[in-house]
């Protein structure tokens, strides 16, 4: 049983996790058949996506079946879905991955040095506690 109530239904926020749209959010507008649904989102092209290519979130929009894109985006903004999703640990994880992917060379260097410093402090404290 899923730990949260997250069903494939109209208005359900999903995250595409395969293909060139990977990482993008969309809302299910209609169910086409047993494997596909009509999905649309501000960064996503309105179209038919396979359930296998999406991961269901716990967030839902109260919209009716097959609304127009403009109506959807208005409801999206009103509910602040990007913000809601960003607050979840999943959303934060995606944001962290995105940040790490876009580090510049200098930032990567700083991360490496600071991480080593942090680990050194932790190791020395651990040694202290063990003794």
Partner 1 sequence: MPKQQRAPKWYPTEGPATGLTKTIEKKPQGVAKLRKSITPGTVLILLAGRFKGKRVVFLKQLESGLLLVTGPFKINGVPLRRVNQAYVIATSTKVDIAGIDTTGISDKPDEKTKRHFFSRVVAEQKEEGEGEFVSTEAKKSGLTEERKAMQVKVDESVIAAVEKTPMMKDYLKSRFSLEKGQFPHLMKF
Q: Is 110 in the site for partner 1 (CB under 8 A)?
A: yes
Provide the CA 26 distance to its chain's centre, in angstroms: 10
Q: Is 113 in the site for partner 1 (CB under 8 A)?
A: yes
Interface map 68-107 toward partner 1 (x if CB under 8 A): ---------------------------------xxxxxx-
In the complex, what is the shortest distance from the CB of residue 108 to partner 1, in angstroms, rounded to a whole number? 8
> What is the rounded distance in angstroms from the CA atom of residue 101 to the CA atom of residue 58?
26
CA angle 43, 34, 55 (to 5 degrees): 40
In the complex, what is the shortest distance from the CB of residue 20 to partner 1, in angstroms, rounded to a whole number? 15
């Amino acid at each position: 049983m899923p730990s949260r109530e997250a069903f494939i239904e109209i208005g359900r926020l999903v995250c595409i996790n395969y293909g060139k749209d990977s990482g993008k959010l969309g809302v299910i507008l209609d169910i086409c058949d047993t494997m596909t649904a009509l999905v649309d989102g501000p960064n996503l092209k309105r179209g038919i996506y396979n359930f296998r290519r999406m991961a269901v979130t716990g967030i839902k929009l109260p919209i009716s079946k097959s609304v127009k894109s403009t109506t959807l985006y208005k409801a999206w903004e009103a509910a602040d879905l990007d913000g809601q999703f960003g607050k979840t640990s999943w959303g934060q994880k995606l944001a962290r991955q995105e940040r790490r992917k876009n580090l510049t060379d200098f930032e990567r260097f700083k991360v490496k040095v600071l991480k080593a410093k942090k680990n050194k402090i932790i190791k020395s404290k651990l040694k202290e506690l063990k003794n």
